[in-house]
Amino acid sequence: MKTSYYLMLILASAAFAQPTEHAVGRGPIQAVSTSQFDYHADKDGAEVVAINNVEYELTGTGVPGRKSDEILLLRKTVHINRVVTEIGQEAKTTVEAWTLGVNPKQPPLYTISTDGMEPRIVNSEVITILRGVEETEWWSVYQLGTGKRLFDTYVPLVQFSISRETLKLRYVGIEVPEDDVADKRLRAPNVVGILTYASPLRVIREGLITCDDPKKAVLLRSFADSTRTMSGDGRAIRLSITQDYPSAPSPVSITVPVAGDDLDLAHVQAPAGVKVTAWKR
């Protein structure tokens, strides 16, 4: 009996001494990436700055779309070119991801490469990249687990939980189509924008915002003459569009209820002539 008891202790100790999944069969890993700053004058005498920044960052566990105990290593590279005396700058961002413990010399799980800067991990669920680097700010939102693009937003990303008992986050943004947008449906004169409601893994619902008055619709979707703000909670999403100075603010307020983890488009509150209807790309 004693022999069996001690044998069980030895086996149990050996089990607890096993390395974690992240470290099984892997030796030390070191990755070195160089950041660089360059300043010079071009042929016309203008001051030009080029910056190449590289940053490594770890996610938490529980990344949507990955194993529950998996941690990702991200390498975020941002290259910026700027003429000091001019407004705006050129920027390019690359995000590469590996499972923690995999040598970054190996091919990444995925690569995001796009114009923009300031790549940020949000809640270990999504990545945002600031795309508008000149006069108009806007962001692209990507799945952290796969690198797949979810949606674009022309207001800072809105987030809230739809549950009080557990943290169940949802993400919301509004996309304002440009005049030369590829989807011809969005070139209609009554289009104001697209409201997007998403989980960390997929777009759940999109709503097309329109205005019956084409002239007012042009004003509401203007980048130069209008300002958009948005907030939300587990019950409703609130969007306000105001006119910029010297015009009177004349705010247009739209409230979209959230019900059953979806947009309740049948009970939208909006001024006369302004509508939000179901939309699919």
Tens place of pLDDT per residue across the chain (281 aa):
444 433 343 334 433 333 344 444 466 888 888 889 999 888 878 899 999 999 999 999 999 999 999 999 999 999 999 888 887 789 999 999 999 999 999 999 999 999 999 999 999 999 999 998 677 899 999 999 999 999 999 999 999 999 988 899 999 999 999 888 999 999 999 999 999 999 999 999 999 999 999 999 999 999 889 999 999 999 999 999 999 988 889 999 999 999 999 999 999 999 999 999 999 98
Domain ranges of the chain: 31-118, 148-281
Burial of 207 (0-12, 13-18, 19+ CB in 10 A): buried
Given a contact cutoff of 8 angstroms between Cβ atoms, the answer to whether 94 and 106 are in contact is: no
Residue among 39, 38, 53 nearest 117 (CA): 53
Q: What is the pTM of this model?
A: 0.86
* R_g over Cα of the chain: 24
Place of tokens 């070195």: 32
What whole-number distance in Å separates Cα of residue 22 and Cα of residue 67?
12
Which residues touch 183 (CB under 8 Å, ≥6 apart)?
Answer: 177, 281
Given a contact cutoff of 8 angstroms between Cβ atoms, the answer to whether 103 and 95 are in contact is: no
Task: Tell me whether strands 139-143 and 149-153 are parallel, antiparallel or unpaired.
Answer: antiparallel
Tell me the two tokens of residue 249.
Answer: 């603010």
- CA atoms 201, 202, 207, 209: torsion sign: positive
Task: Tell me whether strands 203-211 and 191-198 are parallel, antiparallel or unpaired.
Answer: antiparallel
